[in-house]
Amino acid sequence: MTHSRIPRHIAIIMDGNGRWAKKRFLPRYAGHKAGVETVRKILKLCAEQKIKVLTLFAFSSENWRRPKKEVSLLMELFMTALQREVKRLDKNNVRLRIIGVREAFTEKLQELIHEAEKRTEHNSGLTLNIAANYGGHWDIVEAAKRLAEKVEQGTLKSQEINESLFAEQLCLANLPEPDLFIRTGGEKRISNFLLWQLAYTEMYLTETLWPDFDKAAFMEALNSFSARQRRFGRTSEQVEEENA
Ligand code: IPE
Ligand code: IPE
Ligand code: MG
């Protein structure tokens, strides 16, 4: 699709919780809690705007390097949010998926994840992907491993491997690639988020801290997206001709 006013898939790095809390002389944890509220609001907006897929970066494979206390508070928050929200998500026809290495989580959290996915798997509204203990490098390496296994078993020839076959092995297989990437909090990097999938995604980087990312900020991102011309390598004349 070369021209679309509304993105089908939005991927977000929800950054700036810590700084938001610091500005208010609050512990970092208060920022993460406020961040969960923003997730709730953005979900509602996505449903209103008929967005099909929303992928949120909640915890990166590098975030284990944070102080132990913060990591365990984040895990707790993830767990309570899952417990509290699943019913509502299900009621709103949201299909929830968690992407990342879940074996690193406690048994209890893994169980909650499994139940939440199972409960919502047949829902046909918004698909919500939460990236937790996710890394873009990991995703690509796992895909390569799966293909290598098939070659080893003799069910695939290495010459048959192509981009679409490779993409089918990735976490977000069978979903449209992100049209819009949003990073709040002012940093200008991908931080090992969706590396393969962001190849042609429109970038929207904002200084706004995640807990402050409200309806107006979200609509601004959508407006910015709708004003862009996606060329996918072609010239602007070619794209205009096609859309005429
Ligand atoms: C993002 O906010 C949330 C997670 C990484 C879990 P940060 O905690 O990174 O907030 P800043 O970047 O320190 O402000
Ligand atoms: C990226 O944010 C990960 C999440 C938002 C979950 P970070 O705040 O961890 O990113 P870096 O380390 O500053 O790049
Ligand atoms: Mg950060």
Instruction: Tell me which residue has its CA closest to atom 9 in ligand 2.
Output: 63
Give the CA dihedral 77, 113, 173, 206, nearest 10 degrees.
-10
CA distance 239 to 244: 9
Cβ(59) – ligand 2 distance below 6 Å: yes
208 close to 16: Cβ distance less than 8 angstroms: yes
Ligand 1 contact, 179 CB (< 6 A): no
Angstrom distance (rounded) from CA 33 to CA 185: 16
Q: Confirm or reject: Cβ of 186 under 6 Å from ligand 2.
A: no
Per the domain annotation, does 14 fall within a domain?
A: yes
Q: Does the structure show a pLDDT above 60 at 35?
A: yes
Q: What CATH code is carried by the domain that includes residue 131? A: 3.40.1180.10
Q: Cα separation of 235 and 75, whole Å?
A: 47
Q: State residue 2's pLDDT score.
A: 45
**Average model confidence (pLDDT) across the chain:** 96
The best mutation among 12, 14, 15 to test binding of ligand 2, ranked by most ligand atoms within 8 Å of the C-beta, falls on 15
> Which alpha helices (DSSP H) does the chain contain, by range?
17-23, 28-48, 68-91, 107-120, 136-153, 163-167, 215-226, 236-243
Q: Is position 33 within any domain? A: yes
Q: Tell me, what amino acid is at 234?
A: R
Encoded tokens for 202: 């429109």
- Residues sharing a CB contact under 8 Å with residue 141, sequence separation 6 or more, in sequence order: none
Give the pLDDT confidence score for residue 4 in this predicted structure.
63
Domain count within the chain: 1
Average pLDDT over residues 131-153: 98
Which of the following is catalytic: 17, 63, 92, 133? 63
The two three-digit tokens of residue 51, written as one number = 């967005």
Answer yes or no: is pLDDT of 99 > 80.
yes
Any domain includes 83: yes
Q: What average pLDDT does the segment 219-228 reach?
A: 97
Integer Cα distance of 142 and 136 in angstroms: 10
Whole-number pLDDT of residue 156: 98
pLDDT band of 243, cuts 50, 70, 90: confident
pTM for the full predicted model: 0.96
DSSP state of 135: -
For residue 114, is it within any domain? yes
Task: Please report the sign of the dihedral spanned by the C-alpha atoms of residue 12, residue 18, residue 20, residue 21.
Answer: positive
Question: Is the CB of residue 2 less than 8 Å from the CB of residue 231?
Answer: yes
Q: Is residue 217 part of a domain?
A: yes
DSSP state string for 197-234:
TTTTPEEEE--S-GGG--HHHHHHHHHHHHT----TTS
Chain segment 173-193, per-residue pLDDT in tens: 999 999 999 999 999 999 999
- Taking a 5 Å cut-off on Cβ, the residues next to ion ligand 3 are 15
Identify whether 76 is part of a domain: yes
pLDDT value at position 244? Answer: 86
Which of 65, 78, 1 shows the shortest CA–CA distance to 35? 78
Q: Rounded distance, CA 40 to CA 9, Å?
A: 17
Tell whether 160 is covered by a domain.
Answer: no
For the chain, what percent of residues have pLDDT higher than 70?
A: 98
Q: Does residue 91 fall inside a structural domain?
A: yes
* pLDDT recorded at residue 165: 97
Check if 17 has its Cβ closer than 6 Å to any atom of ligand 1.
Answer: yes
- Token pair 């949003």 is found at 182
pLDDT in tens, 66-94: 999 999 999 999 999 999 999 999 999 99
| Mean pLDDT value across residues 122-142 | 98
Q: What is the mean pLDDT of residues 48-54?
A: 96
Question: What is the Cα–Cα distance from 22 to 24, expressed in whole angstroms?
Answer: 5
Query: Domain range for residue 68?
Result: 9-135+177-243
- Residues 141, 117, 138, CA angle at the centre, nearest 5°? 10
